[in-house]
Amino acid sequence: MNLTGFKLREKVVERKQKFVKSGKPPDGRMNREAWKIFQIISEFVDGFERLANIQPSVSIFGSARTPEDHPYYQKTETIAHLLSESGFAVVSGGGPGIMEAANKGAYAGKGPSVGLNIRLPHEQSGNPYQDISLEFEHFFSRKVMFVKYASAYVVMPGGFGTLDELAEIMTLVQTGKSRKIPIILVESAFWQGLIDWLRGTLIAAGTISPGDMDLIQVVDDPEAVVDRIFAYYEERGFEPSSAEEEILLSL
């Protein structure tokens, strides 16, 4: 080790010793990770304040890469408009593709169009069809906002992000961490391979129960999406039970 490297090592050791003794960073400032706590808290506070009055709402997920002239985009726009005209707020990721279609359809209807935007190096840019627009640095705080105020989930064709959201939603409902609400997959041709794999592989391996498949519904018709949501709540009512209230408060 040369002289410069030796002196640098001594300085690092000295700073570490001061930190161990004082319990604080050597320069007296909170470290970067600690400051992130306040950034995370601010995202939750802003989200709770801005979204507390949007219920009932439906969260729509799908690919950011779907072009405007694609049938998936057009179907999403129709579904969102029908939901908005039926009195639902529509919540999307706020970006392009399916997210834009969801916001666009809702924006033209009666219910509010909500975008939960995430800062990403690629793909994500806010669309102009948002009555309420929030921006998040962290995926996990954004996910809480998708779940906390939702009365139903509509999942359009998408990629890794969409699959991530779908798996998270199903896990939360399956484990009782979120109340049971409709989870509707749109476009049976797109989702059939996944459905077959869940049944033929996961159930066969015993990693999920056969009854877990009842968590999801697969439909193709936009009107059927709205009908399924209303049919569910006509049976059980929109008001959450006391047990569900506890779940909502814990999110």
Give domain limits for the chain.
Answer: 33-250
> In Å, what is the CA distance from 155 to each residue of 51, 100, 195, 223, 248?
21, 14, 14, 15, 21
User: How high is the pLDDT of residue 82?
Assistant: 98
User: How high is the pLDDT of residue 244?
Assistant: 59
User: How high is the pLDDT of residue 35?
Assistant: 78
Name residues whose C-beta falls within 8 Å of residue 15's C-beta, 6 or more positions apart in sequence: 26
Cis peptide before 71 (omega within 30 of 0): no
User: How high is the pLDDT of residue 18?
Assistant: 63
Q: Work out the end-to-end distance of the chain between its first and last CA atoms, rounded to an integer number of angstroms.
A: 53
Which residues sit opposite 92 in a β-bridge?
A: 115
pTM of the model: 0.82
Per-residue pLDDT of the chain (251 residues; tens, 9 = 90+): 555 655 666 666 676 666 556 655 555 555 677 778 888 999 999 999 999 999 899 999 999 999 999 999 999 999 999 999 999 999 999 999 999 999 999 999 999 999 999 887 665 578 999 999 999 998 999 999 999 999 999 999 999 999 999 999 999 999 999 999 999 999 999 999 999 999 999 999 999 999 999 999 999 999 999 999 999 998 876 666 666 566 656 65
Alpha-carbon span 152 to 216, nearest angstrom: 11
User: How high is the pLDDT of residue 125?
Assistant: 72
Q: What is the dihedral of CA 38, 40, 43, 45, to 10 degrees?
A: -60
> In Å, what is the CA distance from 152 to each residue of 88, 137, 144, 170, 184?
10, 25, 14, 12, 8
| Topology, domain 33-250 | Rossmann fold (3.40.50)
User: How high is the pLDDT of residue 119?
Assistant: 81
